[in-house]
Amino acid sequence: MDKITLSGNSYQLIGEIGSVALVDSFVKVNKLNPSKSGSKPGHGEARLYIGPQSIDSDYKSFFENFNTNESFFLKEDFIDYLKDAKYEYEKQEQQYYKDLKPLWKENLDEVISINTSLIPFTIEPANGAADKARYYIRSNTRVWELFRIIALPRISFISILKLKSEQGQIYFYFRLFLDYNYNINNHPSKIREQEKAIEDSKSISTTKKEVIISARIGQGKFREKLLEQMFSCPITDVSDERLLMASHIKPWVQSNDKEKIDPYNGLILTPTYDKMFDQGFISFEDDGTLLISPYISPLNIKKLNLSKIKKYNIQPKGREKYLDYHRKNIFKKP
């Protein structure tokens, strides 16, 4: 049986709904500018779209027909989300209806003030007579309102894990997370700032500038040198260069100019594992032992055929300092 431990409690994982996107109509405060000039955004609706109504019976079954509806968020997940979203709150790559800068600290302070690590709430179905194609849920609790207040539309998602406690009680664990393209390491504004600084630099040659900038997307000299060190993905053994990604270990944005193009600051991975590594869902010890974040459910770990005890040939000699950075700063720890 797949097990998961949260806030010191052990559960059996028996089901999962992954990556439910949070749209603008759902969030309460962080609204986007309406497409029609001069319009104001709506107040939003407290109900959350889960999926297509065509599999209505599956959702009712998943939620135990709402006969048992003990659900919870984790305080630490809200804090992690806000830390990830800080740069978007400040730089606002999306076009929001109002300035979000002062809201970040307000929201963080409210989350920190919560006096329990596990925040319970109840849910119920929220379908109306006209909802023939879509399935919704809602909650009339303060934590649900807080969830809607801190979430950023279009770039935020939730997953829902269905759990069974050791006493046989069913729970639903809701986790909020941000699209990794908008965190501090991948945020478009941050990337543009660094690329402009490189392009404007008087101390770097034009050729060197091209090498540094192309390395961000795993191309150019960085990729060539990395492929000379690693001929295949260590996890899948795929060696077809068309299917391989050159991924930075210490993110390009956080690296100095030398580190940005250092092939030892890279791993060759196939796309799925490249994305998992970039997002901090997996990492490696110096000896190549795989580390798996608890933010990846046991069901997906099984589907991806990953093993925590397996060692992979990542040729770590020379990569130690970069792997140390990844484990401390990127890897999503318990």
CA atoms within 13 A on the CB side of 163: 23
Structure tokens belonging to residue 333: 């720890």
| pLDDT score at 332 | 86
Output the CA–CA distances (angstroms, integers) from residue 238 to 89, 99, 270, 273, in the order listed: 39, 46, 7, 12
| pLDDT score at 173 | 95
Cα-Cα-Cα-Cα dihedral sign, residues 9, 12, 14, 17: positive
Locate the DSSP E strands across the chain: 3-6, 9-21, 48-52, 70-74, 118-122, 124-125, 134-138, 156-165, 170-178, 245-248, 266-269, 282-284, 290-292
| pLDDT score at 262 | 95
| pLDDT score at 129 | 83
Query: Block means of pLDDT (10 residues each) for the chain, length 334 residues?
Result: 80 88 94 78 82 75 86 95 95 94 97 96 90 90 96 95 92 94 88 90 90 87 93 94 94 94 96 93 94 84 86 87 95 80
Output the CA–CA distances (angstroms, integers) from residue 301 to 34, 279, 304, in the order listed: 40, 15, 5
Cβ(176)–Cβ(73) under 8 Å? yes
Alpha-carbon distance of 275 to 272, in angstroms, equals 5
